[in-house]
Amino acid sequence: MSRTITIEPVTRIEGHARITLQLDADGQLEDARFHLTQFRGFEKFCEGRPYREMPALTARTCGICPVSHIIASNKACDHLLAVDIPPTADRLRRIMNLAQLVQSHALSFFHLSSPDLLLGWDSDPATRNIFGVMRQNPELARDGIRLRQIGQTMIETLGGKKIHPTWVVPGGVAEPLSAEKRESMLKLLPEGLEIAKRTYAFYKTLVPKFKDEAAHFGTQPTLFLSLVTPQGNLEHYDGVLRVKDAQGRILEDQVPPEEYERLIGEAVEDFSYMKFPYYKPQGYPQGIYRVGPLARLNNVQACGTPYADVALAEFHMLQDSGPIVSSFHYHYARLVEILYGLEMIERLLKDPAILETRVRARARSNRYEGIGVSEAPRGTLMHHYRIDDDGLITWLNLVIATGHNNLAMNQAIREVAQTYVDGNHLQEGMLNRVEAVIRCYDPCLSCASHAFGQMPLVIELRDAAGSVVNRLTR
């Protein structure tokens, strides 16, 4: 008799999801699926709104990622205006985007994933949480809070508020940076960098303990997609698209972001409200690719900042050769990017040009179609708008960072379930590993599905007829 195990919702992620594991009569895995169960529909209700409202409207997609949506949305609006924004505005937007990267990665590593990494996959779920981390390693927990605070403070300094700032506008930014604000941000960076270095060094000591997880957490070959600089280095704000395969061959390079539709198709499945983007030349569902910190580091030759470049070299040593394939190493990649983000912010702030006062290009719409692409913490984020003569949105498409990883996440939970789940002797630690592989991707399901609500964890065992034969609740 076949059975279904349902993990609902998945915990310690941003948003709400369900995992189902279909077992055969012998208790072996037949299939595994990752479901987004709720729908909000930004692409529909934004129709008819003025394009200038898009940054504020789409930022409401999420309380974690508003800056990412603000950046991508304003880039799409810049494209509609057909303007090149002033160089100083470009640099200021980069700082805000990197501050978002730092605070978001800090949340993922310190608050969401550290319970597994520090306390163990099989530890008591009642204490396998942030309070357990605080008990075992309070300094790490304090570092996480402080690092996130530093990122948030920089966002607030630039944008006037931590969440949903309105300082980034079509054509640039609303006001230049003052010398006082620059100094206040620069003062935060030494402490932030010390925390980042300390955490990176600590994590390197943990990595050898996770050989088993690294060998089974999403190790199936996929492609990697990200923005890179024209020279092939790390890029989070602008640049060109690159696609690399699991053997390290570059399949696509120097692709202008405006041509993303040439590379990416989007499929839908009836079991999830998240779309299933795929690499068009390989078709669906074969065209599986990953985005985010792992993909970004796999796609580049260098970060371009001193400490991050050392860490990048060490990251590549996690595997004998080729791109790092295990999704478990998203955690590692996140720490490298935190180092990079803080170093790059310091470099940008120390450039005297950062205080220049020409920060906004003003124009009316000069195109009917605008595309904005940037790297959000979780991966490549695409905003695509079409407008009419009155500047009203007639169509829009949001390709969300988490969505890009949808096929890969489904593939990863199948791999982890096949490795760890024994349907005849179900243990909580097995199911936690299934959840944990999803946490590696740090999915933001509020962005990807626009879901909301509470998420108690329910695990159900169902027989072939759909009857619940066992049920665990967290």
Partner 1 sequence: MPTHTLIIGYGSPIRGDDAIGLIAVERLVERGLAADVTALARHVLTAELVTELECCQRVIFLDAAAIGEPGAIAVRRIAPDVTAHSTLAHVLDPAELLAWCQRLFGHAPEAYLITVTGACFDYAHCQLSPIATAALEHLIAQVGNWLLSESASILANSDSTDCGDNQ
- Positions at the binding site for Ni(2+): 65, 444
Number of residues that bind partner 1 (CB under 8 A): 31
The token pair that represents 158 in the structure block: 């630039």
The token pair that represents 97 in the structure block: 């985007």
Q: Is 145 in the site for partner 1 (CB under 8 A)?
A: yes
Strands 29-36 and 17-23: antiparallel
Residue ranges of the annotated binding site for Mg(2+) are 43, 62, 398, 450
Nearest residue (CB) to partner 1, 49 versus 146: 146
Contact 439, 8 (CB under 8 A): no
Place of tokens 């665990």: 472
Nearest residue (CB) to partner 1, 69 versus 384: 69
* Closest by Cα among 277, 268, 275 to 241: 277
Q: Is 130 in the site for partner 1 (CB under 8 A)?
A: yes
Q: Is 112 in the site for partner 1 (CB under 8 A)?
A: yes
Give residue 11's region: left, alpha or beta (phi > 0; psi -120 to 50): beta
Q: In angstroms, what is the minimal distance from the CB of 107 to partner 1?
A: 6
Nearest residue (CB) to partner 1, 23 versus 189: 189
Residue ranges of the annotated binding site are 43, 62, 65, 398, 444, 447, 450
CA distance 218 to 419: 11
* Closest by Cα among 117, 1, 114, 18 to 460: 18
**What is the enclosing helix (H) or strand (E) of 254?**
strand 250-255
Nearest residue (CB) to partner 1, 66 versus 257: 66
Beta bridge partners of 458: 8, 473
Q: Is 455 in the site for partner 1 (CB under 8 A)?
A: yes
Contact 75, 84 (CB under 8 A): no
Nearest residue (CB) to partner 1, 142 versus 471: 142
Interacting span for partner 1 (CB under 8 A) from 138-146, 177-185, 320-328, 331-339: 138-146
Q: In angstroms, what is the minimal distance from the CB of 469 to partner 1?
A: 27
The contact pattern for partner 1, residues 160-199, with x = CB under 8 A and - = no contact, is -xxxx-----------------------------------
Do you find a cis peptide bond into 257, omega within 30 degrees of 0? Answer: no
Contact 170, 55 (CB under 8 A): yes
Q: Is 111 in the site for partner 1 (CB under 8 A)?
A: yes
Residues that bind partner 1 (CB under 8 A): 11-14, 60, 63-64, 107, 111-112, 129-131, 134-135, 138, 141-142, 144-146, 148-149, 152, 161-164, 454-456
